[in-house]
Amino acid sequence: MASDVGEASETSQKISFTKQMRKATREIHDVSDHLVNAKLGIAMTDDAVWAEGLLTFYEIFKYLEEAMDRLSHTLIGELDIKGMRRTKAFEEDLQFYYGKEWLENEYKPNQEVAAYLEYLRTLESEDPHMLAAYIYHLYVGLFSGGQILRRKRALESSLKLRKGNEAGKGESVTDFGDISIHKLKKQMMEAMEHIAESIGEEDRRKLIEESKHVFRLNNKIVRAVKGIDRVILRKLMNFTLIALPSMLVVYFGSRMLSH
């Protein structure tokens, strides 16, 4: 019996910290979280919603990158992977959508983003290592999810379902050029593993809990992005206008053949 316990403990210890983080965050996803992600994936193919989403997340990524500069002498500096930074790419995209003077215009983050930023400032002041959870999840999410959205937008452009912009314009934030996304993710995971090895058990536990909070805060600001419901409704109506007549043709055709 003691041997079994020992083997179980040993197996548990072999689970990488990033896998523990992924498992912990997966467990907090409820139906509403999935709906938010699904709605975002559909609506982000609309340029107005895409631009609003960029403006929303720009503030968060900018803060984290400035924090990495301030904390470069700490373990947080290990997460600053070459080629990962996105602030300039965000600014390039926002200039494309809002004009050259967008940054000079007075801009106040909405209440959800302001609360997110205030929480990050508190963490940096009181427990800066906890920012690792935000850097890790947001950038790994952009590496993977950003590429999916990029392909989805490119597909809609090619099908001429989106009007106006030349394909790829206003999407610098998801363009990493010749840098391998796989390599970026691997380096980020390795840096996170090293941080986990360098801190105590209590801090590792806190990082797991903080990882859950990353997704809670992200869901709040996603819900606040303007225009998502409008785009969903429009796409649903377009689908209905196309699909319903086809379904009626099939239905009545089958009825006629059966008589």
Q: What's the CATH code of the domain at 107?
A: 1.20.910.10
Residue 175: CB partners within 8 Å, gap ≥ 6? 89, 150, 168
Residue range 5-21: mean pLDDT, rounded:
64
Mean pLDDT of 194-210: 96
What's the rounded Cα separation, in Å, for the pair 82 and 62?
16
Cα(182)–Cα(23) distance, integer angstroms: 20
Q: What share of the chain in percent tops pLDDT 70?
A: 64
152 located within any domain:
yes
Q: Is residue 8 part of a domain?
A: no
- One domain for residues 102 and 192: yes
Identify the pLDDT of residue 246.
42
Domain count, the chain: 2
Same domain, 24 and 67: yes
Helix residue spans in the chain (DSSP H): 2-13, 17-28, 31-43, 47-70, 87-98, 111-126, 131-158, 181-198, 201-223, 228-258
Question: Picking from 16-30, 40-54, 215-229, which range would have the lowest pLDDT averaged per residue?
Answer: 40-54
Enclosing domain of residue 107: 17-226
Residue 88 and residue 96 in contact, taking contact as beta carbons nearer than 8 Å: no
Confidence grade of residue 103 (pLDDT, cut at 50, 70, 90) = confident
Are 165 and 176 in a shared domain? yes
Residue that has been written with the tokens 């996304």 in this structure? 181
